[in-house]
Structure 1
Amino acid sequence: MFEPLTRKFTDWRLRRLAIRKLLRLDDRLLADIGTERDDIAQFVACGPCP
């Protein structure tokens, strides 16, 4: 019954953690992985754009 809610919460927490870690990187490293500082949230949500 609570599994979908728990899964959504866990996914949200993991996305927030990934965003925090990416925000700590410098712009050169972000460029190396295919994103910019302004696009980190989208990058975490959808992955790199082609």
Structure 2
Amino acid sequence: MFEPLTRKFTDWRLRRIAIRKLHTLDDRLLNDVGTSRDDIACFVAAAADC
């Protein structure tokens, strides 16, 4: 019964962790990954949709 809700919460939590970790990288490393500091949230959201 609660599996869909639990899954959504877990996915949200993992995205927040990824965003926090990406914010710790410097701009050169972010550029190597293929994003910029301003686009981190969109970058993580796009990766979650794949």
Describe how 1:1-50 pairs up with structure 2 within 5 A. Answer: 1-47=1-47
Higher helix share: 2
Report the RMSD for the aligned CA atoms in angstroms.
Answer: 0.5
Q: Gaps (5+ residues) in structure 2?
A: none
What is the count of residue pairs matched by the alignment? 47
Where relative contact order (Cα < 8 A, 6+ residues apart) is larger, the structure is 2
Q: Extract structure 1 runs of 4+ deviating beyond 6 A.
A: none
Query: When the two structures are superposed, what TM-score results if normalisation uses the length of structure 1?
Result: 0.92
State the shift of 1:2 in Å. Answer: 0.3
Give the gaps of 5 or more residues in structure 1.
Answer: none
